[in-house]
Amino acid sequence: MSRCTATKNLEVHHKRRDGGNGIDNAQILCHQCHENTATYGTDGKSSSPFSEATKEAALKRAGNRCECEKDNCHG
């Protein structure tokens, strides 16, 4: 699989809605990849926002780029 190479318009995505707000549930995605997740914009309980510290840690871990590995995510 090829990884998305976007480095702009990055957002922190909750991997699981019920997974909490820790770094283990945070995934960095560009806006387009974020929109292409199964839960983006769907009804249901929204997770609380991540703290700034968690956002910064997730960005650092991701090397300040999108972590999406889906084929043709931007298709």
Residue 12 lies in domain: 1-75
- DSSP assignment of 2-28, as one string? ------SSEEEEESSTTS-SSGGGEEE
pLDDT grade for 70, boundaries at 50, 70 and 90:
confident
What pLDDT does residue 75 have?
A: 60
For the chain, the domain total comes to 1
- Tens of pLDDT, residue by residue over 14-56, are 999 889 999 999 999 999 999 999 888 888 777 889 999 999 9
- The two three-digit tokens of residue 63, written as one number: 């090397």
pTM: 0.87
CA pair distance 61, 26, nearest whole angstrom: 10
What pLDDT does residue 69 have?
A: 84
